[in-house]
Amino acid sequence: MIFDGLFGFTMINILSAILYKVFLCMAVYKDAKEHEDKNAVLWAILVVLFGLIPTIIYLIFRYQKEKEFIRCPHCGKMIAKKYPVCMFCKQTINTSGPENFVSEEVKKYIIAAGVLFIIKLIVGNLINLLGARQGITLHLF
């Protein structure tokens, strides 16, 4: 009985760990593509392999880049923030409007990854708890 429960939880734990990385990878890849990052595939591979750490590094890189560059709302190209006119399409850039840090689609992936990460945390703790109880039971008998 305890073994069955533990096995089920272990499966959920492994599944949520895999899915969490998949969603995180999709979020980073999509975001990198949207911001014309040539290393989008490299970032995605790093996230699949190492999870949260390359994601944080990616975000720091992006934040640094976006302090100086902005996406032109007219032609979609990345342009330096200090110029009021886009060098590609010659349209004036209105920088006053608050720009979303991530797109709606990327946001969905991040939420999915976050939910799975929490599930993994809870199930991981449950496994430890059940495992500990199981240890006590075995010790008693």
In whole angstroms, what is the distance from residue 118 CA to residue 112 CA? 10
- Distances in Å between the Cα of 45 and the Cα atoms of 38, 49, 95, 108 are 13, 6, 33, 20
Interface with Zn ion (CB under 5 A), residue from 7, 63, 83, 88: 88
- What's the min distance (Å) between Cβ of 91 and Zn ion? 5
- Tokens linked to 76: 């979609």
Interface with Zn ion (CB under 5 A), residue from 89, 112, 126, 130: 89
CB-CB neighbours of 70 under 10 Å: 18
In whole angstroms, what is the distance from residue 33 CA to residue 36 CA? 5
Interface with Zn ion (CB under 5 A), residue from 86, 110, 113, 116: 86
Beta strand spans in the chain (E): 69-71, 78-80
- What's the min distance (Å) between Cβ of 69 and Zn ion? 12
Lay out the site mask for Zn ion across 44-83 (x = CB under 5 A, - = otherwise): ----------------------------x-xx--------
Q: Closest CB to Zn ion among 49 and 87? A: 87
- What's the min distance (Å) between Cβ of 92 and Zn ion? 10
Instruction: Note the residues at the interface with Zn ion (CB under 5 A).
Output: 72, 74-75, 86, 88-89
